[in-house]
Amino acid sequence: MKYIKYITPVLFTLLMLNSCSKQLDLSPQDTITNSQYWSQPNDLTIYVNQFYTAFPVNSGYFVSPFWADINSDDMVPGTYDKRLAGENTISTGNASWDFSRIRSVNYGLENYQRIKGLFSQLSAGVGELKFFRAYFYYGLVKLYGDVPWLSNTINIDSKELYDGRTKRNIVIDSVLADLDSAIAYLPLKASASPNRLNKECALLFKSRVALYEGTWEKYHASTPFGVNGADFQRYLQAAATASKALIDLGTAQLYIPNDPYHYFRDIFGNTDLSSNPEMLLWKKNVEALGMGLHIQGALYQGGDRGLSKSLVESFLCTDGLPISTSPLYQGDDNLTDVVTNRDPRLSQSMWVPGEPYTVKNNVVLEYFSLPWLDQTGEYRCTSGYQLAKGRTVRVELAKDDGETASIIFRYAEALLNYAEAKAELGSLTQQDVDISINKLRERVHMPDLDISAIATDPNWLYPALSPQINEIRRERRVELACEGYRLDDLERWADIDRLVGQRPLGAKFKQSDFPTLVPGSSILVNADGYIDPYQKALPAGFKFKVDRDYLLPIPQLELNLNENLDQNPGW
Amino acid sequence: MKRHVSPDPIKWIRSFGFLSGFGGFILLTLSSVNLYASDANRDNFSGENHKVIGMISPGAAYNLSGIVNSPVRGKITDNNGNALSGVSIVVEGTNAGTTSGAGGEYELRDVPDNAILVFSFIGYSELKIPVNGKSGIDAVLQENNAKLGEVVVVGYGTQRKVNLTGAISQISGADIENRMTSNVVSSLQGMVPNLNLSFGNNGGEPGASPSFNIRGPGSLSGGSPFVLVDGVPQDMNSINSNDIESISILKDASASAIYGVRAAYGVILITTKKGKAGKPSISYSGDFALQKPTTLPKIVNSVQFATMVNDAFKNAGQAVKFPDAVIDKMKQQMANPGSLPSMVPNPLSPNEWDNNQLYGNTNSYDLFYKKYAFNQNHNLSVSGGGNAFTYFLSGGMYNQGSQYNFGDEYYHRYTLTANLSSHVTKWLTIGLNTRYTKRKYQMPHVYPLIGDYYHDIPRRWPIWPVYDGNGHLAINTMALMKDGGRNVTDENQLLNSFVFAVDLTKNWKINADVNISQDYNSNNDHAKTVYMYKVDNTPAAQSYSVPNSYAVSNYKAFYNSNNLYTSYEMKPGRHYIKLMAGVQSELSEDQTVSISKSQLITDNVAFLTTATGATTIGGSKGHWGTMGVFGRLNYNYDEKYLLEVSSRYDGTSRFQESRRWGLFPSVSAGYNIAKENYWEPLADKISLLKLRASYGTLGNQSISGSYYPYLASLGINTNLDWVMGAERPLFVTAPGLVSPELTWETTTTLNFGLDAAALNNRFSFSFDWYKRATDDMFGPLESYPAVLGVNPPRRNNASMETKGFELSMGWSDRIGELSYHAKVLLSDNRTKITKYKNATGTLTDYYEGQEFGQIMGYETVGLFQSDDEVAKGPDQSFIGTKWGPGDVQYKDLNGDGKVNKGTNTLSNPGDQTVIGNNTPRYSYGVSLGISWKGFDLDMLWQGVAKRDVWLGGNFFFGDAGNYNQITIYKEHLDYWRPDNTSAYFPKPYMTSLKNKDIQVQSRYLQNASYLRLKNLQLGYTLPAGWVDRLSLGSVRIYFTGENLLTFTKLLKVFDPEDLAGAYGPGKVYPLPTTYTLGIKLNLK
């Protein structure tokens, strides 16, 4: 017994030594290391999922493609766009110089081959990866022009870290090559998983990228943003070919709403687009899955924005003539006059008096009467032309909430891309117009465009360009108004030059409708009686610097870290 | 083995039974406590067992053989012959006693012949004199030298304070036990030099505790001090301060080296109270407190608000928000409240209230916070034991009530502690220390689209009426707080320590302990749908509260540490040698599971089972472990030359095998000059004069965010924001970059110290200077070109150096019956980056030579007063456009005619310069106390003498260019306008144009130094005579105030200690000011 006091500590020591041998070899219990992943085809699918959130969609209150044109001449946000005003600074856009998603795509492309299986089981996933690399690079090229091209993941000791930028046309060639792979690998929409990328998307996107690069190189040819040895014809041809291929596939069609009144507005604001032949890719929002949106509530209010006078005036009259020449035009003294005898897309893109405003149990509770000019903040309509496109007409409204689907790619764009590419190539035929522009016009009961008899518009925005291009650009502006395409179009056409020194205007202000508003104080109105929101903020109009602001500056930090990077023109 | 019998287990069981009804124990009447006390006495009196083991306590002897009782008289003097009045004289083991009168004389009746008298007086050593039948006993009390004999708790042992060679501060539990703070850390503020607190984004939220460091930031990755309670790592918040016996703060490498692996940034050792042999001691303390916010901004009225907003819109070239007609109505409403409806329907949408015509005049802070919240704190403890068994049992309850008017939040903390120890054999002592802590918080659910309430409340402008035309709450924040769901956190921790002490020989001891700590925390969060009402009184669900949902998150953790160590002590001649060696292992495991489900069938029955919508499941699981071998040698010669050498060899699971182990040695030495023979003549005056020096290295393994930082893994995520088929699928993301070479951070500390005591220890002094170098630090990620596309790996890539000092000086003395004490603490630390990879000298990264906390910005010339001044000034287009009168003029430091950031590098910083530093410098604490005839008054002042802060944001500027965020307080009205050109603030703008004026700059840099009356206590100890009649041991009643006065130059909107905020500086739960009435009873 007396030895027990010596034995106890010895036992303790042994116990502890025993417990320690393995104690420090601990590996993660809730994450997977690289070597454990990439074993089955589904691993690729799950990996690709992450990239779908890159598309611009409606979410919460404030982000929406339907508001995205506030950075262009189509819309007038409460606070002017700094880029159009020439007020970008060297620090603007730092967060956009981001290659993390490109790295993620490259990581997927480097590793998917480790999966044991037939390529046919992986091809859709590989097609998606290629598509997304193209998508992300196209985004960077639009912002910065030349960008470093990376086809592999790199590490902190890689020499690629310190490479210079790759010329934009070379990057775009790689983007188009990726898209060719995507077109080859992705399944047709009919056989693809719902809400995933398909061949049609890739064709449409290829036409978009090629048209962008083609027109950019063409219209910036003599500017600091031009490309040496530009071969824009090749890109325009690629755009025409890709969009024509999509048209010829025949799997996508324009959607013709059966609402006899809202036959244009009803294309938007729906919750389920799965059987809609026009929507090549869309995002489903399910409230029960925590994806409820407030966009419907936001489209009820003014949203601190409004359509510009310039956009409203670009809509033709129902006789196919512009307002400058059409005898049907009623003037713009009030909203009703503005939309009378006009392309119905106008009255279905903005709120007009008498339009059902709130509907419950199929009973109209409220009709729209006046734009929300005398409100403030997110309630206010800035211009007097209040956005309605995107507001649902089909279902009864729980005003604030909803599951409105986000449209990512719609077929109508392909028709516009095709017509424009052909027109820019100089090979546009009436037949081309009939399978593109005129399809869009037919849907809204507008007369066809006859390219042999285009009526002259003294207010054409591009008098130096052909009537064809003027009318095709008009059609694009009208059809895609407020959907987030306009800034890209202005940039690639070098068209922001046109806006310098100008202020966007709104509707005519009618004091009797808004007795509390005091012109010059609580509402700003110009000498002709039009609402002039930037009268005091931008007395000299937009000061976009045409030799600088078409591209963002490379962040200073990046220039410091890599001396092989050069700054964009003008910065 | 002889069987020992002790009565104590019975007492223990009784005590336990007594405590088991914990929830209601404070309701027990004093009479039942008395009853128990007399029971306990009876147990003691039946002293057969004491006889058996030969442990006859003096008290027992008195009762067993108290034959003759006679009076005793005498006089009490100090060693200079001066009479001492107010000395307490007690018959040991009884409640009988008295105090000496003015001439030092006393008289006690009925004193048993064999009793022992105990003389005690503050500042003097306690004296015990056996009566031995005498009737006259004079006593000479010696001034207290106890401070020199004080024992300090050190790592794996204790040491006499005079023999310390490391930098250690110790405070006693009594110093903090009457503080009405919700956590122990807050109570230490101003008590320990260089223990620095900072309140984070939770501010003064109930149950929140500040973060703290010892001697400044140890690491850029945020190393924090290592806290052990009775040798087991613990969260300081789980401790009831009433259970604390002492707290040791180990600051330098030599003091903490024995904890090598985790002690790089200092160690805090908390020792809890243990039972002592003797009669049971029961004590109860109760506090009742009122709490209010310490600092609240002053809100402007509705007209002032509307006027400034209009000016801001005008300055931005926009239409004004409030037409004159609206402002006239606001004026009318202010002049004659109720003369107008405060809300009207929107003319464009008649069933909606018009947000542009709001005629309230509301102070949202008055509405948001109650005037006072009620807090209470109760503690009951019982301790005692015999030679073979001692116990300490305690229960505590701390309740913090709701400070919100609408939100019914609370924080409750319950603690149960039992420290039991039994001498099983002559050589073996076993003990069980067990502690259970429950902490429960409730707060209103935070709706993500709203942000937090401290962000929201400042934005509930004065124009908002509280109620709409139909009498419903009109402010959504209030409605959400009142009618929204609740978020309840329930944290439970159970710690069991099994302690074994083996005395192999008289000098050779072995200690072993096994510690198991388990946490089980849950959070239940109900997001309830909240309704507000339309003009026609129909309810409308608030969009941000739809859909409703319920979420549960459960966390469990297991922690085990095993220590085995042995010590051997010997005293050959004047030498003293002590050797200690041991091993330790640790294993920690934790797991979280969280589930949330949307669309409850009804908000009245909210749980996962009553929800029909989508389910989200998440979780995490991980573990880590360490192993260590350690040893220490203490040597001294005649307590004059002191030496300590210690070392620890540690391994951790957090690094790969080849980088896993590290050796951390330290050495320290001391020289007590006062022990030299030649000092003898001075010994009267200066009894201690000790020089100390130490040097050593420690390691840190903690990298926040990962237990396996050397391994790369793919991220697995749920609920992609994209529906595929019918569900939101999983998605997996690419692994980040890791550095497999990752290993320990090491700190090396050099410390010099001087301790002195003089004038009979009335004066004490301690000073330390130190330099701590942190090498191989887990620095911030290095900057690489963005084409890398991923964060670079964490690496041991930086070094920094902290230098500082600590000074403490105390004086305590007595004038007649008035005793007083004063203590002054002063500390400082400065940190410099000594190594960091930043070849380009980019200013957004750390760089070598940079002082930690530096604030870089522009220097301000002033506000432009005319367009002419703008034209003559430098080109400021880099910063913004449209410069005019009322905008800020920055200084063109480099004279190039432009104000900009150059390339934002060291070699070309443009016009930026270092304008300040936000490190708190020269932290000080001053405590003062006096006591007189049972009254005591104590004060603690605490402050920081130097600190700059850049605050910015809406709280500072009032507006930062966004209408939704505007926050106007009285101070903000001093903005530039043509009729107020000498304004402090620049002109307001309602767009991002504002950014140009609110750049980080010298004009708006704030001085955050402050002085605060942290604590004031006024107490009265009832005279022994009164207490006797109530059969109590002692009774003290007291008033305590916390955060009573603040002096600062900061803009009055801010609290200098509460500057954080998830949504910007100052948007944070205010720190509390509390007024407490308390009582403390001891039953003996």
ipTM entry: 0.93
Per-residue confidence (pLDDT) for residue A382, from 0 to 100 = 95
C-alpha torsion B449→B454→B458→B461, nearest 10: 50
SS3 A92: coil
Average model confidence (pLDDT) across chain A: 91
Instruction: Going from the first residue of chain B to its last (1084 residues), give the mean pLDDT of each consecutive group of 10, the final group possibly shorter.
Output: 39 38 33 34 35 33 50 82 78 75 80 83 76 84 63 85 87 83 87 90 87 88 85 87 91 84 87 86 93 93 95 91 91 92 88 88 90 94 90 95 89 95 91 95 86 85 91 89 94 95 90 94 96 91 87 96 93 94 93 94 94 88 92 93 94 90 93 89 86 93 81 89 90 92 92 92 93 92 93 92 96 88 96 92 92 96 96 92 94 94 92 96 95 92 96 89 89 96 95 92 97 95 79 87 96 93 90 94 82
Question: In chain A, what residues touch B317 (CB-CB under 8 Å)?
Answer: 534-539
Using 50, 70 and 90 to split pLDDT, how confident is the model at A76? Answer: very high
Residue B256 backbone dihedrals phi, psi, to 5 degrees? -105, 0
CA distances from B136 to B95, B235, B1058 (A): 21, 54, 61
- What is the distance in angstroms between the Cα of A78 and the nearest Cα belonging to chain B? 8
A109 touches chain B (CB under 8 A): no
Query: Closest partner residue to B587 among A13, A23, A32, by Cβ?
Result: A23
Residue for token pair 């389920």: A272
SS3 B212: strand
Per-residue confidence (pLDDT) for residue A458, from 0 to 100 = 95
Per-residue confidence (pLDDT) for residue A14, from 0 to 100 = 64
- Give residue-wise pLDDT tens across range A267-307: 998 889 999 999 999 999 988 787 888 888 888 889 899 99
B962 touches chain A (CB under 8 A): no
- Characterize the bridge pairing of strands B1006-1007 and B139-141: unpaired
Per-residue confidence (pLDDT) for residue A13, from 0 to 100 = 66
A319 touches chain B (CB under 8 A): no
Per-residue confidence (pLDDT) for residue B84, from 0 to 100 = 78
Per-residue confidence (pLDDT) for residue B7, from 0 to 100 = 39
- Give residue-wise pLDDT tens across range B904-931: 999 999 999 999 999 999 999 999 999 9
Least confident of A50-54, A93-97, A495-499, B838-842: A93-97
Question: Which H or E run contains B641?
Answer: strand B641-652
pLDDT at residue A354 tops 50? yes
Question: In chain A, what residues touch B564 (CB-CB under 8 Å)?
Answer: 9, 12-13, 16
Of A32-41, A44-53, B142-151, B1061-1070, which one has max mean pLDDT? A44-53
Per-residue confidence (pLDDT) for residue A18, from 0 to 100 = 56
The mean pLDDT value for A370-374 works out to 93
pLDDT at residue A92 tops 70? no
CA distances from B57 to B133, B282, B932 (A): 19, 19, 33
**Long-range contacts of range B681-689, CB-CB < 8 Å, 24 or more positions apart?**
B685/B758, B685/B759, B686/B756, B686/B757, B686/B758, B687/B145, B687/B148, B687/B757, B687/B758, B687/B760, B687/B761, B688/B148, B688/B162, B688/B755, B688/B756, B688/B757, B688/B758, B688/B761, B689/B754, B689/B755, B689/B756
pLDDT at residue A518 tops 50? yes
The DSSP string of B751-802 is EEEEEEEETTTTEEEEEEEEEEEEEEEE-PPPP--GGG-SPPPP-EEEEEEE
A258-295: buried (b, 16+ CB within 10 Å) or exposed (e) per residue?
eeeebbbbbbbbbbebeebebbbbbbbbbbebbbbbbb
Biggest distance spanned by C-alpha atoms of chain A? 120
B984 touches chain A (CB under 8 A): no
Cβ separation of A19 and B790 shorter than 8 Å? no
Cβ separation of B904 and A560 shorter than 8 Å? yes
A458 touches chain B (CB under 8 A): no
- Give residue-wise pLDDT tens across range B380-431: 999 998 888 999 999 999 999 989 998 889 999 999 999 999 998 888 999 9
Using 50, 70 and 90 to split pLDDT, how confident is the model at A19? Answer: low
B566 touches chain A (CB under 8 A): yes
Cβ separation of A59 and B1 shorter than 8 Å? no
Question: In chain A, what residues touch B355 (CB-CB under 8 Å)?
Answer: 375-377, 379
Per-residue confidence (pLDDT) for residue A359, from 0 to 100 = 78
Question: In chain A, what residues touch B728 (CB-CB under 8 Å)?
Answer: 289-291
Cβ separation of A30 and B622 shorter than 8 Å? yes
B627 touches chain A (CB under 8 A): yes
